[in-house]
Amino acid sequence: MATPAGNFQLLSGFFRTDKTCRRAWPIPMRPLRTSDGWCDDPSSATYNRRINLPNLARHEKLWREDGVYDFILVLNYNLRPRRKYRGSAIFLHCARPGFEPTEGCIALNRDDLRRLLPRLAKGAVISVRQ
C-alpha cells in the first residue's frame, strides 16, 4: 500500500475522450473505453495487465466517474518480469480531492498532469525515493 521506490519509465497511457481531446503527446496514449480494466488478481495469467471487462479475475475498472483516471500513465513497475504479489496497477494519474492517498500510485492535480503530458519526453523516467 505504498509507492514502490525506484526509477520507472512512463510506457504508455490512457485518457478519457469525454474529458479531453486527443493531443500529440510524446508518450503513446490511447482513448480509454468503458470496458477497460486492469487485473490485480495474482492467481490470474493476466495479473498486472490491461484486460477487457467484464472479467472473472479481480480487477480495477479504469473508466471511473470520480475523475481519478481521466489521465493514466502506465509505469514499467512489475511488468517484465511480472512477479505475483509484488503490486499491480502502479500508475501516474489524477489526484483525488485533498490529495487523499493512493494504493501505491503517483497522483498529481488533474490540470498539472494535463499540462505536464505534452512536455514529457518519450522514454521519460520518474524517480521515486523513500
126: pLDDT strictly greater than 80: yes
Instruction: Give the position of cell 520518474.
Output: 126
What's the burial of 38, exposed, middle or buried (CB within 10 Å: 0-12/13-18/19+)?
buried
Task: Tell me what pLDDT residue 1 has.
Answer: 67
pLDDT (tens digit per residue) in 39-87: 999 999 999 999 999 999 999 999 999 999 999 999 999 999 999 999 9
**What is the value of pTM for the model shown?**
0.93
22: pLDDT strictly greater than 90: no
91-108 average pLDDT score: 95
What's the burial of 129, exposed, middle or buried (CB within 10 Å: 0-12/13-18/19+)?
exposed
C-alpha cell at 82: 511480472
Task: Tell me what pLDDT residue 55 has.
Answer: 97
